[in-house]
Homo-oligomer: A and B are copies of this chain.
Amino acid sequence: MADTALDGLIEALRRLPGVGVKSAQRMAYHLLQHDRDGARRIATALTDAATRIRHCARCHTFTETEVCGTCSDARRDARLLAVVESPADQAAMERSGSYRGLYFVLMGRLSPLDGIGVADIGADALLARACDGVVEEVILATGFTAEGELTAHALAQALKARGLKVTRLARGVPAGSELEYVDLSTIAYALVDRR
């Protein structure tokens, strides 16, 4: 039966997103039975990260320095600023190898139903960042979900009101897709945005 430290571990693991009581139990049993070294490593990594990681003063992504490596890279094109929802989205754009500008990471997206408004995604900081006199074009690269579109729409209005050029990633048929398997609204958008 569960003793105190085991109950405490299961309870703590449930704080991880997507982990319910069954998964937390499975994780705890696995670590205690097969990977105590792993348990200690995860503990150290968590403490390290919680202590050392902060937000980049320029783009808000996670970093251990005042300004992140991307923002302080002089080879990047400071006239382009891509607005993304998360460091994961930023990483996906970097992997594409086709963007050489800078980023602003919202660390979220507008979600009125969850009470997440413009203040929560650092819209003021984005406006200040985009009006630094160097940025010429803001590329809205939020997701093509309802919330991502809402976020892009709200930010586009605020940015345009300050006289900035604002663009949005193109919608269309994904590379490598057969038309037969592409959903209808994607085909509709690809028709409208045909070039």
Contact = CB atoms under 8 A, between A and B. Distances in A.
Interface of A: 1-6, 8-9, 11-13, 15-18, 23, 25-33, 35-36, 38-50, 52-53, 61-65, 68-70, 86-88, 90-91, 94, 107-108
A107 B3 contact: no
* Chain copies in the assembled complex: 2
B12 A42 contact: yes
Contacts of A46: 9, 12, 31, 39-40, 42-43, 46
A157 to B, nearest CB: 26
B42 A1 contact: no
A48 B5 contact: yes
A50 B45 contact: no
Given A39-B50, A46-B42, A16 B27 contact: yes
Nearest to A94: B1
10 contacts: A1-B69, A5-B45, A6-B62, A9-B45, A15-B42, A39-B49, A39-B50, A40-B46, A40-B50, A43-B50
